[in-house]
Structure 1
C-alpha cells in the first residue's frame, strides 16, 4: 500500500473541517477529554453547542462526548452532559453504548450515574457482548452488582444466528466468572437467580447444541474448586446431569467428592424450601426483598445463604 493510499484512508476517517456540527462536536469532545468541566459548561450554555451534544467526532471511531466521558471515567463531565439531554444509549460503530464503555473501563461511579439516569443495563441488542458479560469476565463484582440491581439480565441471551449455535454461544456470565476464577461474581450471579445448570434460557439454542455443557461440568473441567461446586449445589444445580469422566479430571478430588456425595444424599427439606421461596422472589435485588420479609433474622440470613445469625 502506497503512502498516498494511506493518506486517503486517513482523510476519509477524519471529520470534514467544513462541517460546523462536527467541529463543535469535536470541541465538546476535547473539553471532555481534558475533564474541563468549566469549559464544557460554558460551551453547553450556548444553543449551537447544545444542538451538537450528540454529534460524533474524532479519528478512527467517531464518538459522542458522553461516550468519551464514560470511557475515560470523567464523572462530572458525564453528569453535566446528561443534565443537558445527551442521548444516554447512543451507539458507536461497534454498537457499544456509553454504559458498556464505562463497564469496560471499570468506572463504577460513571456506571452508577448512567444507570440512575435510565441507561439500559443490558447494553445494545446489536452487540454480541453485554455489560454483564464484561463485568463477569473482568471480575468486577461491584459493577456487576450495580448492573443486576438495575435489572440487567442475569442469564445470557445469545446474540448469534441459530445456524451458528454451539456450546460456546451458550456460555453466559456464570460460565465466564467460573472460567476466569472470579468467585465473588460467581456467587453474586447465583444469588441473583442465575440458572445453575446451563446459564442459558434459550431453548431453541440449547436444542441445536449437540451436548450443552452444564456449569458443573465447566467448573470441574477448569479446576474451579470445591467452593464453586458447593455453591452450585446449594443454589439448586441438578447434580444428576452428565459430568465429565473421573479420569479426565485432575486435582479435583474434593470438588468431585462433594458432587458424588450429593448424588447419593437427597436435599434436606430446609434446603428445598429455601430454593422454592427464592424461586418466587423477583430477580432484581433479591436481598432487599428478603430483608423486607416479616420473619426472624436467622431465617432471612438462611434465605440469603448468610451463615451468620446477625448482620
Structure 2
C-alpha cells in the first residue's frame, strides 16, 4: 500500500483525524482489519477513554479492527478492566469470542485484569468459559489474580480440576502464584488437593512459591506431604532451611482421627454434593467442621 505524506497538524487531537490519516500515512480504510500496528482504537479502549472511542467509531474505525497478533479493541478494554469501553464496543457489534494468535480471548483478558464486571459482561454475550488453547485458560488465569472472577467462572461450570500440560490445574497455578485467597476458594469448592502438574502436587507448588499460609491450607485439606515429584523429592525436600514454609511442613504430625473422618466424608459426598453437607441430620458443629467453617 503506497504511503503519501500529509500534514497531520491540521487536527489537534489524534481522534479528530479522519480514518484515512494516521501516523503520517494515507491508508485505505478497507484495509483496516489488516493493520499490523496498534491503532488509536486499541489505545483508547485500553486506557478507558470512552469519548475518544466513540469519536473514532463515528469516524469509521471498524469495531473489530485487529492487529497482526489478532488483538481487537475489546481485548484491550478487557485487559485494562475498562467496563464502559467494553460495553460500548459490544453494543456496537464487537465479537465477544475473538481469539488472538496466542489464544487469548476477551474473557481471558478480563480474568487477567481481575475485572469481574468485564467478565460478567463478556459472559452475557455467550462467550465460552472453556478454551482449546492450553496457554490461555481463563480459570487458570483467574486462579492467579482474584477470587471474584474465579468464583464467577466456577458458578458457570468451569472445570475446577482441568489439568494442562504446562500450567497444571487451577489449584496448582494458584499455589505457584501464592494466591492464598484463590487457593481457599478452590479447596472449599472441592478442588482435588492432590492433582497438580504431572507428578508435581499443589503442595510442591506452594513450597516453591514460598507461601506458608498456602501450605497450611493444603495440609488442612489433606495434601500428602510425602508425595514425590519427578525428581523423587518431597515438598519438605524442596523447602529452604529455616524458612516459614519448612516450619509449616514440620509443624504437622499425622492426621487426627477427626480430620481423617472429615476428609473421608467430603470425598464420599463428592464435589457436586458438598453443598448438601449443610442439610445433613447432624449437629451444627459437625456441619461446620465438615465445611471448614
On whether the aligned pair clears a TM of 0.5, the verdict is yes
Alignment RMSD: 4.0
Pick closer, same or farther for the CA change 1:107–1:222 going to 2, 3 Å: closer
Partner of 1:305: 292
Where in structure 2 are the equivalents of 1:75-94 lying within 5 Å? 75-94=83-102
Select 2:160's aligned residue among 154, 162, 165: 154
Q: Give, in whole Å, the separation in 2 of the partners of 1:247 and 1:65.
A: 47
- Is the counterpart of residue 276 in structure 1 residue 263 in structure 2? no
How many residue pairs get matched? 257
- Is the counterpart of residue 106 in structure 1 residue 92 in structure 2? no
Q: Give, in whole Å, the separation in 1 of the partners of 2:286 and 2:162.
A: 31
- Is the counterpart of residue 56 in structure 1 residue 42 in structure 2? no
Long gaps (5+) in structure 2 = 1-23
Long gaps (5+) in structure 1 = 1-13, 160-168, 201-205, 207-211, 307-311
Query: What's the CA shift string for 1:77-135, capped at 9, x where partnerless?
Result: 3123323442211112222101122222233321222123332223x422513222223
Q: Give, in whole Å, the separation in 2 of the partners of 1:127 and 1:301.
A: 37
Pick closer, same or farther for the CA change 1:29–1:265 going to 2, 3 Å: closer
Q: 1:300, CA displacement in angstroms?
A: 4.9
- Is the counterpart of residue 36 in structure 1 residue 50 in structure 2? yes
Q: Give, in whole Å, the separation in 2 of the partners of 1:292 and 1:245.
A: 34
Q: Give, in whole Å, the separation in 2 of the partners of 1:119 and 1:300.
A: 37
Q: Give, in whole Å, the separation in 2 of the partners of 1:158 and 1:145.
A: 20
SS in 2 for 1:87: coil
Q: Give, in whole Å, the separation in 2 of the partners of 1:70 and 1:223.
A: 30
Q: Give, in whole Å, the separation in 1 of the partners of 2:85 and 2:115.
A: 13
Q: 1:218, CA displacement in angstroms?
A: 3.7
Is this contact kept in 1: 2:225–2:234, CA < 8 A? no
Where in structure 2 are the equivalents of 1:178-189 lying within 5 Å? 178-189=175-186
Is this contact kept in 1: 2:78–2:106, CA < 8 A? yes
TM-score by length of 2: 0.68
Q: 1:31, CA displacement in angstroms?
A: 6.0
Partner of 2:141: 134
